[in-house]
Chain A
């Protein structure tokens, strides 16, 4: 997802994501907008599935699998999440 195309996710969005990611973060890597799910956090497909489900439950939304390939970082995720929330 190219930078500058979307508004920066809000601090509240990041705070919520950091909290949810915390329960799956076994690497202890620092959480920041540029932290990458696969490389920095070691998220495999099973963890991604559980993490996405936790976001869906927290915000009561559906996150289709189709959007996942474009998401590399927590910042990307925040952008996608706010887009879904705005479409609700």
Chain B
């Protein structure tokens, strides 16, 4: 009997790591952003998207609240905020 421990490409999308957050999430202020894309690069979930200045945003279905983006932003345009009720942010 074999239960495969393999997965096809893109199946990690099914794994909603947003449930891993424990009370805090990054808030993209979108005021000082210089579109350096550092936050995109350091996000372990690859869940930050954006294009021009002040358009960057995280997908909270996958954002696990590690805070890397906050730490790396050169203009402090991302801050960690307390979640109202963390579960509703992943629905």
Q: Do A and B come from one complex?
A: no
Chain B residues within CB distance 8 Å of chain A: none
Chain A residues within CB distance 8 Å of chain B: none
